Amino acid sequence: MRIFFLGDIVGRSGRLAVNTNLKDILEKKKIDFVIVNGENAADQGVGITEEISNDLFNSGVDVITTGNHVWDQKETANHIEREKRLLRPENIPSNSPGKGFGIYESRNGFKVGVLNLMGNVFMKKCDDVFKTAEIFKNKYKLKEDYDFLVVDFHGEITSEKMAMGYFFDGKATLVVGTHTHVPTNDVRILVNGTAYQTDAGMCGDYDSVIGMNKENSLNRFLKKNSIKHYPAEGEATLSGLIVECDTSNGLANKVEPFIFGGGLINNY
């Protein structure tokens, strides 16, 4: 059983790279289940639309997670009620549209739980993420409610993400961070068997400032003439990781980073 996770898709460049290359990657890497974070996938670099979601699903994506930009496209609030494969953070207010957790079937017939969480530090206001995670962990059990569990922790700071990794160690197949758009060099399996990476990076143009046009971003930092952030549109790099899972206990046997295309050093 092999699970493929891709970090935040940023704008048209990131979408094109995923839609063009994913099916080939799935075949070559023998992938059974695919999760992407799509909260920056719209042309403006924030939010996601129904059309974009459908294009990603048609390209081979099984589940799309999000984060603090989930509502930046107005249509999402209605679409997420109908589309159960599109998740929003579990710890945003409970009366929000959609769900933050779902159980899905992999290509080879296993049940995969996907939990979307959002950090509390330097992020939009949301419920206590560790309390939400504790409630979840008391309610659902690995190899009872699902065969595998992937946790996308959408957060700003490394310590909060690392703490969540240890909180789920032995209870999840993978805990992976998103949001900061830079792949961290700490891919590993924790002591109790959970695969972990602080941030998966992004699927976007790295000749940029975290996916946004670099000249405009520099002007904003220098307080010169600038406009609202917009994505860079050069060739995108796909950034993520692949987990080889143990079907007997739902934990990780092996995890490897995945980087392909664009400006980063490739390992595919």
Which tens digits make up the pLDDT trace of 165-174? 999 999 999 9
Sheet with 2-6, side-by-side order of all strands: 63-65, 33-37, 2-6, 238-245, 252-260
Please tell me the predicted confidence (pLDDT) of residue 150.
98
Please tell me the predicted confidence (pLDDT) of residue 125.
86
In our burial notation (b when 16+ CB lie closer than 10 A, e otherwise), range 90-100 reads: bbbeeebebeb
Please tell me the predicted confidence (pLDDT) of residue 89.
98
Give yes or no for a contact between 200 and 5, defined as CB atoms under 8 angstroms apart: yes
Please check the confidence at residue 182 and state whether its pLDDT lies above 90: yes
Catalytic residue among 69, 154, 179, 181: 69
Please tell me the predicted confidence (pLDDT) of residue 199.
98
Please check the confidence at residue 226 and state whether its pLDDT lies above 80: no
Q: What are the extents of the domains in the chain?
A: 2-260
Please tell me the predicted confidence (pLDDT) of residue 225.
81
Whether 179 is catalytic: no
Percent of the chain with pLDDT over 70: 100
pLDDT tens digit sequence for 4-34? 999 999 999 999 999 999 999 999 999 999 9
| pLDDT range class, residue 207, cuts 50, 70, 90 | very high
Least Cα distance to 15 among 50, 44, 56 occurs for 56
Residue 175, CA atoms < 13 Å, CB-side half-sphere: 26
Q: Return the H-helix or E-strand segment holding 14.
A: helix 11-29
CATH of domain 2-260: 3.60.21.10
**Per-residue pLDDT averaged across 243-255, rounded?**
98
Please check the confidence at residue 98 and state whether its pLDDT lies above 90: yes
